[in-house]
Amino acid sequence: MKLLLPKKVTFTELFARDGLQNETAFFPTDAKIYFINKASELGFQCVEVTNFAHPKNMPQFRDAEEVLKRITRRPGVVYKCYGMSDKAFERAVKAKEEGYGPDVLAFTFSMTESHSKRNAGRTHEEYWRQIPHWIEMAHSVGIKVDFAMAGVFGCPIEGPVPLNRPLEILERALEMGVDSATPCDTTGEASPNRVFEFYTRLREKFPNADVHVAHFHDSRGMAMANYLTAVYAGVTHIETSLGQLGGQPAFIMDGVPGIGTGTNYCPSDIVGNGSTEDALVMLDEMGIDVGVDIDAVLELGRVLEWSLGKELRPYTTKTGRIPKGPTAWQATPPYRRGWWAYPTVSQAHTSKVVEDRRFGEEKQIAEVKRREFANLQEAK
């Protein structure tokens, strides 16, 4: 039986917004700009940039306007931001009027009342009263509005969500005038069988709307299976994060949810988005055009590990792509786990990395061991 697969799948890179939101340390503004520019340079069709949240609630994005002003905009790339209050929409509108605003402004609407109150401090009814005003504000300056649907498959507080509920909520939002929607598996409750059912029903109910997007979190190791299932169900645009970062609660400090997130409502801090690196490699191996420079993205994933100073979860930044022939392995000093991928990903990059100052300690150790071995041989 031949599988019916799309010829092309496009990507939104989430790192700079969803990916960074629950990092416990402030990621420098210059570094954010670097990664955003690299993402658009390497072929991502949409890039999340920042969140217009109050700095007290989400200090990671206290530099929102500066980031937007300084990034390099590339033709054809959509730059997307988040805002979940009147003030956030006002800031986005002002930025647009001054020539540096986002193309798209998204806000989150939870599929359960419990998650809505815990995540955003609002009931559904309060949201419905607010949405028309937000749409009017954004449209007045040419910003499109994206309806980010949180917890489509399940809620960590209430449990599984009936799949008819997000479809009914989406219908009401589209009637109000949102331009697009992103169904999100916000805290990782999706399973492949429910993913296939949901996207099949979504495409039947809204065949032409800009809502056929897959956004999964990898809390339970099923994100790649869920992306693949969504593609089988007809989805041609997916959202992922470099480094498999992100998730909720949106602001964590020393393992404790910060101001604005309420008490903890997730069973674990393993709530990152599906991995950009692994999703790109998987779909490419299946013969699907992803439109992105994959080797360069794997290198960027390793740069991100150096930037954050920790090993991240993606597999392919360490194992690389599947070899397509005999592999000439290089004689390299021992590597700390998480800092490298095998040479066929990029011989030039690996050679350069060996000389990088970050590997100075390993080089010294290797040299000492070599000399000790040589001295022992001479003594014999």
Contact 335, 363 (CB under 8 A): no
Mean pLDDT across the stretch 232-256? 80
Chain length of the chain: 380
pLDDT of 310 strictly over 70: yes
CA quadruple 246, 249, 252, 257: dihedral, nearest 10: -170
Are the C-beta atoms of residues 186 and 281 closer than 8 Å to each other? no
Tell me which H or E stretch contains 262: none
% of residues, the chain, pLDDT over 90: 67
The one-letter code for the residue type at 118 is R
Over residues 195-218, the mean pLDDT reads 96
Mean pLDDT of 139-145: 99
- Reading the block at residue 359, the tokens are 């590997």
- Count Cβ atoms below 10 Å from residue 137 Cβ, excluding itself: 18
Beta pairing partners, 275: 241
CB 163 within 8 A of CB 136: no
Element (H, E) at 6: none
pLDDT at 108: 96
Report the candidate in 63, 118, 123 with the shortest Cα–Cα distance to residue 95.
Answer: 63
The answer to whether 47 and 40 have CB atoms below 8 angstroms apart is yes
Alpha-carbon gap, residue 54 to 60, rounded angstroms: 10
Per-residue pLDDT tens over the stretch 65-116: 999 999 999 999 999 999 999 999 999 999 999 999 999 999 999 999 998 8
Kindly give the pairing relationship between strand 46-51 and strand 10-13: parallel
Measured distance CA(284)–CA(51) in Å, rounded: 31
Q: Is 238 left (phi over 0), alpha (psi -120 to 50) or beta?
A: beta
Distance CA 79, CA 350 (A): 32
> What pLDDT does residue 4 have?
76
**In the chain, where do the E strands start and end?**
10-13, 46-51, 78-82, 104-110, 144-150, 154-155, 159-160, 180-185, 213-216, 237-240, 252-253, 256-257
The CATH 3.20.20.70 portion of the chain extends over 10-308
Please indicate whether residue 222 or residue 327 has the higher confidence score (pLDDT).
Answer: 222
CATH (residue range 10-308): 3.20.20.70
Identify the DSSP state of 203. H
How far, in Å, CA of 46 to CA of 56, rounded? 28
* Cα–Cα distance measured from residue 160 to residue 117, given in angstroms and rounded to the nearest whole number: 17
pLDDT in tens, 352-372: 544 444 444 455 555 655 666
Residue 119 vs residue 227, higher pLDDT: 227
List, for residues 208-219, the tens digit of each pLDDT value. Answer: 889 999 999 999
**Would the pLDDT of 346 be above 80?**
no
